[in-house]
Structure 1
Amino acid sequence: MSQHEVTLLLGSNLGDTKSNIELALLKIEQEIGEIIRKSETLVTDPVEFVSNNIFCNIALVIKTQFSPVKLLDRIKSIEREMGRENDTLISGEYQDRIIDIDVVCVGNLRFWCKELKIPHHKHLYQRDFSRKLLDELSKH
């Protein structure tokens, strides 16, 4: 089975955010694939919604055998296991979250369906915190 290099962005702004990120990283390695590079964590204000809770964010590159749809299924499963109740796709709005895991890119693949758009244009081109994390990741 072929391996894909996948870039993910993780964020948490509820509870012990650093521990949430660490648990998510562990689950990703156990359930999705090997982490081959990761950025430092970055603390940021919420983007595109109002909250008093600041985010802890990290970017990483993993190797996985999963297709984009199967990858998304695994990611959503991890988010639910960790206690995320509301999904932005279902609610239609951004909210505080225990964990958020976004697929930024899968190699050079372009993939679009209702639930997933690869590459993730907001993270690549519109969000400063994302650009900072992704730039750091590319220097490793």
Structure 2
Amino acid sequence: MSQQEVILLLGSNLGDPEKNLDLALEKLKSGNIEILKISELLISPPVEFVSSNIFCNIATIILTDLSPIQLLNFIKGIEVDMGRVDDSRAFGGYRDRIIDIDIIKYNELNFISERLEIPHKKHLFEREFSKILLKNLSRKT
């Protein structure tokens, strides 16, 4: 498969969130993924759940030869490796997490399966922090 341009959103609100984001980026690189751009760090309150732990968030543009499902499996593996014990779907709602990595866009692909929807409409159109990060990413050279 040829190289695909993908936008990911990463967030953390447990432990040392900035360090968690850096580690997640390093783990992405270990999967033969090239990181093209990284947004500025954005601090934001939790969305769709209550917690006293604030989030550190970044967006990144990557190049990968993984298919959408292969990429999803890879990033879920990173989350587990970093100590995330449950997914919001399995838990039935959002809660604090050491790392969260979401696929926002995969080139111009429209894809829907039981586990994955691309583009990620909540991040593109509903969540203010996501819109800020994506705008920041598009301005960054």
Aligned CA-pair RMSD: 0.7
SS at 1:31's partner residue?
Answer: coil
Post-superposition shift, 1:32? Answer: 4.8
Give distance in 1, aligned partners of 2:32 and 2:118.
18
Matched ranges for 1:16-95 at <5 A: 16-95=16-95
The residue number in structure 1 matching 2:139 is 139
Post-superposition shift, 1:30? Answer: 1.1
Post-superposition shift, 1:90? Answer: 1.0
Paired positions, count:
140
Give distance in 2, aligned partners of 1:22 and 1:33.
15
Answering whether residue 105 of structure 2 is matched by residue 105 of structure 1, we say yes
List, as ranges, runs of 4+ consecutive aligned residues in structure 1 with deviation greater than 6 Å: none
Post-superposition shift, 1:117? Answer: 0.2
Deviations 1:29-63 (A, max 9, x none): 11150100110110000000000100000000000
Amino acid at match of 1:47: V
Q: Given the two structures, how large is their TM-score scaled by the length of structure 1?
A: 0.98
Deviations 1:75-102 (A, max 9, x none): 0000000000010121110010000000
Q: Given the two structures, how large is their TM-score scaled by the length of structure 2?
A: 0.97
The residue number in structure 2 matching 1:119 is 119
The residue number in structure 2 matching 1:129 is 129
Give distance in 2, aligned partners of 1:5 and 1:67.
11
Amino acid at match of 1:66: L
Residues 32 and 121 from structure 1, CA distance in 2 versus in 1: closer, same or farther, beyond 3 angstroms?
Answer: farther
